[in-house]
Amino acid sequence: MGRKQRIFTAIKLAILLFVLLCLFLVMRHIGFREILAAMKRADRFSIVTAGFATLVAFIMWCFRWTRIMLPEERKSFIAVFPIYMAGAFGNMVTPGAKVGGEPLRAYYMSKVFGGERTAHLGTIIADKVAYATVFLSFVIISALFVLGFVPILLVYKLLLGGVLALVIGAIVSGVLLNEHIGERSRALGKILPTIYHMKLLKFIRQRFPTYHHFENYAISKVDNLVNPLLGMAERPKAIAQVVLISVVSWLLICLAYQVLFHSLGADLSYIKVLVIVTVSFFLGDVSMSPGGAGFMEAAMLALCAAFGVRSETAAAVTLIGRGIFYLLGMGLGGICFGSLAAIYGRKQKEQAAGDRL
């Protein structure tokens, strides 16, 4: 790890610790006894209902992924679901906008079903793009609602607007860049030779004796990543299914929080809950902490206060809702990841032992 990378990592860790400290101080100001008492008021049926709604959302997300696969390449949902949950586990334990689990899903897809990892990663990226498109639609509508109608401090509105503008700008830049990168494009024709001839990347020239070999390899990998996205554009029925599943699954997540708010006596309309949950998850996703820890909770507490929800009720709903999400993502997801690692780690050792014999 270089010096700049270490400094950047230290800064991210410092920001995370600062946010967690502020969240702890807010919770202490509210009162841990009051929060615990509010959590005890939530009836078991509401918690189970919220948990079931969240589980169904996870199942729908996995099903959406299978819809993106070509019909002739589509895998069994029963076999794919453990891999999807292992990826969810990876997303929650690594920092960033839910990107740590994607390579994990591609790895185990290649182990279970065979094929190139980049080909599987292409379907995963297509799934992520489809979900992000729908989710960002919810985010933009919710953010505009907050900026226009929710009485929060101007600095918070500027912060939310700035983050949203940066994310939209990054997406637009990515789309424009994609238009200029292709097998026959000038951009790719300049990028690949530069990479191949860089002094620091000598190992590339050792693996690929000629630039032609490297170019063919790189283009094949780019095609594997891009083809699922291009294939989706030619399947309007699949696009409609993916959009519908994305919308319904997110509404289910928000419904789970609505059930928790209602069980604690908070009189919030579903639209307000939708705004609170959407903006909070968005800020957690773009944060630098694993699973958005600290950032998402702080955003939810602030928005609940702006909508007039009692602080102890807001804290209780936040902790219960996040607990359910982590229980499924890290609990069930961790079990799936451990099982896959044990099964295919053992097979790899057996294969290595067989090769030695």
Q: pLDDT tens digits for 86-133? A: 999 988 877 555 556 888 888 999 888 888 887 788 888 888 888 888
* Distance in angstroms (rounded) separating the CA atoms of residues 203 and 355: 27
Residue 350's pLDDT band, with cuts at 50, 70 and 90, is low
Q: Of the given ranges (54-63, 236-245, 257-266, 320-329), which has the lowest mean pLDDT? A: 236-245
Residue 182's pLDDT band, with cuts at 50, 70 and 90, is very low
- Model confidence pTM above 0.85: no
Please state the rounded mean pLDDT for residues 5-30: 71
Percent pLDDT > 90 in the chain is 24
Q: Which two tokens stand for residue 47?
A: 């918690």
pLDDT of residue 34: 85
Q: Of the given ranges (152-161, 255-264, 288-297), which has the lowest mean pLDDT? A: 288-297
Please state the rounded mean pLDDT for residues 230-255: 84
pLDDT of residue 184: 46
Residue 207's pLDDT band, with cuts at 50, 70 and 90, is low
pLDDT of residue 183: 43
| pLDDT beyond 50 at 261 | yes
Residue with the two structure tokens 């990347």: 201
* Distance in angstroms (rounded) separating the CA atoms of residues 64 and 246: 8
pLDDT of residue 274: 95
Please state the rounded mean pLDDT for residues 240-254: 93
Residue with the two structure tokens 């615990």: 36
